[in-house]
Amino acid sequence: MVTMNTRSERWTTSLSVCLVVLTVTAIPGSVAAEATLGSTPPGTEAAAQSDGRAPAVEMAVAERAQRREPAGSTVGDRQERSLQEETSPAIAVRPDVVQFPNETDEQFAETVTVTNEGDAPLAVESALLVDATDDEFAYDGPSSFTIDPNESRTLTVSFTPSTARSQFASLRLLSNDSNAPQVDVWLTNTQTVADISPSMVLEDRTIVNATVQDATVNASQTVNLSWPLTRDDAVAVDALSLVPRRSGDFDLSVAKSSDRLAESPAFDLTDGTESSAFVRINHTIDNENVSDVDVAFRVRKELLAGNETGPEDVALYRYQNGSWVELPTQFVGEGGTHYFFRASSPGLSDFVTGIKQAKFRIDEAVVSVTTVRTGEGVDTVVRVTNVGSADGTYDVELILQGAVVDRRELSIAPGGTRQAIFERSFDAPGSYDLYVNDRFVANVAVVRSETTGRDGPEGASDLDETVTAAPGFGVVALVTSLLVLTVGLTFGRRR
């Protein structure tokens, strides 16, 4: 269950997950908002009082005021510990929209008040500007601070425009209020206001909804979609920027899943690229009225570990005209757990964050000869092509009679081909099956030479007995002697 008093009030969320459809109407300078619940799990009730505190917290406070436990009482100690566990901070930020004058060569300053309406200390762990296009917005206050219950703190943000153009940014506050761990204050010098709902985690996806009101034509608009609940996901969409070609309002709904969404096309590229997340952006503004779409996203480092891939192998793909098309993707930096990227798109639709992979194909594997004498060598030539989309290393193994007898390591760029040559001699006569990895190459017959008499593998045939010379004779002399002997026996019979 989700309730919201105003755009500046905190969200109160139950442990049960429900789909929430937000319809937000905001007037510049006002903080009025309306939330409509699409569906509510059975048995849930309103969870917030008029002052924003949950009923359980109200009851705990009342019980604590009425209870008079003897000092040192074991029962009292347990009850006090229980009450302390039920207390919590509650952040309220006013105003949640700051609109500066659209004038140049002058500095403007506005204040934002952060109040702790809960009954436990509020720890603001991070306060910083996000999505500022230039240095014209500024926040010089503390990056972290603590507010006691029923106390407030004033923060100052400033704007010093050098040119008359539409600009946007957000003052982001991250705190220990579990019901509202992130609060964004919208900063702008226009009438445009963006309202972002907290992320919703459903069974098969996460969803963030945004409403942009009174959009400024031909002015880049950034909607920040990052929330603490999904910030540690394997893949997360942080922000979406676009340039509307028409004025007015529009809605965006961004759904993300590590698995293919039921309504998304299959991602089956032939170059081995693997999907790491599917993203679908539903929108009420036509793609004909949108340009310069920019998607900021993050990918956990573990997804690239152990398979020879790096940040340069990550790309965003868009489904357009019946196929997946790779978008220009830029690696912009890294944190402790994630790599960060930006990708440019001609429009909004279905997207996939892909991780490029090396994919290898053995084009040729041949031997120089198929019959040799013991002690002689056979050359095996192997040609391998990387038909994938990333650099990679391929291990080529020469296998003889089921055992690996030699190997080569080939580093191959996408679209490249490399060659490996194995030279192998045989000490014993016999018939040998030769493989390269799992590919059969040839059967090599090895016959005994004149200088060796060792037996070959079980089942090998001694193929050189008919050509091995007798002691003291060469092969030619031996054959001539056999012919003479045959003629003599024939004439003897006739007599």
Tell me the per-residue pLDDT of 145-167, one tens digit each, with 9 for 90 and over: 999 999 999 999 999 988 888 88
Instruction: Evaluate whether 432 touches 422 at the Cβ level (below 8 Å).
Output: no
pLDDT of 28 > 70? The answer is no
What is the rounded CA–CA span in Å between residue 273 and residue 295?
A: 20
108 shares its domain with 183: yes
What is the rounded CA–CA span in Å between residue 181 and residue 306?
A: 34
Instruction: Out of 328, 355, 382, pick the residue that ends a domain.
Output: 355
Cis ω before 161 (30° cut-off from 0): no
The predicted model gives 223-236 an average pLDDT of 86
Instruction: Out of 307, 328, 355, pick the residue that ends a domain.
Output: 355
What is the rounded CA–CA span in Å between residue 429 and residue 446?
A: 5
What is the rounded CA–CA span in Å between residue 464 and residue 461?
A: 9
174 shares its domain with 218: yes
Chain centroid to CA 35: how far? Answer: 32
Report pLDDT for 281: 96
293 shares its domain with 145: yes
Return the SS3 of 176: coil
What is the rounded CA–CA span in Å between residue 409 and residue 421?
A: 12
pLDDT of 464 > 60? The answer is no
Report pLDDT for 64: 34
The predicted model gives 385-392 an average pLDDT of 93
pLDDT digit string, tens, across residues 35-60: 322 333 333 333 333 333 333 333 33
371 shares its domain with 257: no
Q: What is the number of domains present in the chain?
A: 2
What is the rounded CA–CA span in Å between residue 29 and residue 11?
A: 21
Instruction: Evaluate whether 369 touches 423 at the Cβ level (below 8 Å).
Output: no
Going from the C-alpha of 47 to that of each of 57, 66, 100, 229, 416, the distances in angstroms are 10, 23, 36, 20, 62
Per the confidence metrics, is the pTM higher than 0.85?
A: no
151 phi and psi, to 5 degrees?
-115, 165
187 shares its domain with 249: yes
Residue 433 lies in a domain: yes
The predicted model gives 194-217 an average pLDDT of 88
Return the SS3 of 90: coil
Residue 59 lies in a domain: no
Residue 4 lies in a domain: no
- Report residue 86's pLDDT band, with 50, 70 and 90 as the boundaries: confident
Q: What is the mean pLDDT of the chain?
A: 78
Residue 200 lies in a domain: yes
Residue 273 lies in a domain: yes
Instruction: Identify the bridge partners of residue 361 per DSSP, sorted by sequence position.
Output: 385
Domain harbouring 371, CATH code: 2.60.40.10
- Report residue 445's pLDDT band, with 50, 70 and 90 as the boundaries: very high
Instruction: Identify the bridge partners of residue 109 per DSSP, sorted by sequence position.
Output: 158
368 shares its domain with 347: no
461 shares its domain with 376: yes
134 shares its domain with 188: yes
Report pLDDT for 164: 81
258 shares its domain with 221: yes
Q: What separation, in Å, do the N-terminal and C-terminal C-alpha atoms of the chain show?
A: 120
pLDDT of 326 > 90? The answer is yes
pLDDT of 24 > 80? The answer is no
Residue 214 lies in a domain: yes
Ordered DSSP codes for 405-453: EEEEEEEE-TT-EEEEEEEEE-SS-EEEEEEETTEEEEEEEEE--TT--
Instruction: Identify the bridge partners of residue 334 per DSSP, sorted by sequence position.
Output: 339
Residues contacting 77, CB < 8 A, separation 6+: 69
What is the rounded CA–CA span in Å between residue 58 and residue 88?
A: 11
pLDDT digit string, tens, across residues 407-438: 999 999 999 999 999 999 999 999 999 999 99
330 shares its domain with 445: no
Query: What is residue 261's DSSP assignment?
Result: P
pLDDT of 196 > 90? The answer is no
What is the rounded CA–CA span in Å between residue 456 and residue 36?
A: 84
Instruction: Out of 340, 355, 370, pick the residue that ends a domain.
Output: 355
Residue 67 lies in a domain: no
- Report residue 133's pLDDT band, with 50, 70 and 90 as the boundaries: low
What is the rounded CA–CA span in Å between residue 240 and residue 295?
A: 5
Report pLDDT for 76: 53
- Supply the range of the domain harboring residue 463: 360-476
**Secondary structure of 291-318 as H, E, C letters:** EEEEEEEEEEHHHHCCCCCCHHHEEEEE
367 shares its domain with 320: no
185 shares its domain with 232: yes
Residue 46 lies in a domain: no
